[in-house]
Amino acid sequence: MSETHPFHPSLVRPVLFAGAEPAAAALECLTAGALLFGVGFHIVSILLAVFYLTVVHALMVWIASQDPQMSQLYLRSLSARDYYAAHAVAGARSIAVRPSIPRAR
């Protein structure tokens, strides 16, 4: 006899703060706070902070709705190389890639 055990949705749902990734939401609040308290309470800094908290946050919420781990994926992609030379076997040595345009001497 087979029993089913349902998972609670909170175990598989991504953790989001105000609809955005936690790191993005923290960075938004930090930047808005730096604008207000670092620069001062001027009309321009207040407008920039409000713009940042509305428009940029809406963009971050849209990105999180597409893929909740987009920023981690982007940061991981920065460490990858643009080109990997082909190997005959998995343990083969890497072949030196020569530039297609020779360097000036």
pLDDT at residue 13 is higher than 70: yes
* DSSP assignment string, 59-76: HHHHHHHH-TTHHHHHHH
Chain segment 80-92, per-residue pLDDT in tens = 888 777 767 777 7
pLDDT at residue 46 is higher than 70: yes
Helix, strand, or coil (residue 17): strand
Which whole number is the average pLDDT over 26-55? 93
Determine if the pTM surpasses 0.85.
no
